[in-house]
Structures are given as structure tokens and as C-alpha cells.
Amino acid sequence: MTTATPRWFTSSYSNNGGACVEVAANLAASHGIVPIRDSKAPAGPVLTVPAGAFAAFVAAVKG
């Protein structure tokens, strides 16, 4: 991924029995990416998406 340390965050709306994702939005400004992982498998694979694509996804979900 990068040399920066991701600070993982789970939404407060994710109180649904563990079927959640975590994001590390702290890398968006400095590296232009948003890592995403399964909260049930924190040592598992990480999907890294461009910050703009993640922002568009969030905007679409809110809309």
C-alpha cells in the first residue's frame, strides 16, 4: 500500500451484527487513496480505491 499508517474507521451506522467495512480516510489527502477492508478480517486483503472514486461513491449513497 503506502508507507503511511492507515487509521481505520468504522461508521457509527455499522451496528448491524458485524457485516461492516472499515476505511482509512486519513490517506485521501496525502496519498490520494482510500484503503477499505472487511472489519471481520482486519488482517485480510485491503482494497485501495482512488479518493475521488470513493468520494463519488459516498455522495451517491447519500443521495
For the chain, what are the domain ranges? 1-63
**Distance in angstroms (rounded) separating the CA atoms of residues 23 and 8:** 5
Mean pLDDT of the chain: 87
- pLDDT, tens digit, 9 for 90 and up, residues 25-51: 999 999 999 999 998 888 999 999 999
The residue whose grid cell reads 485480510 is: 44
What does pTM read for this prediction? Answer: 0.80
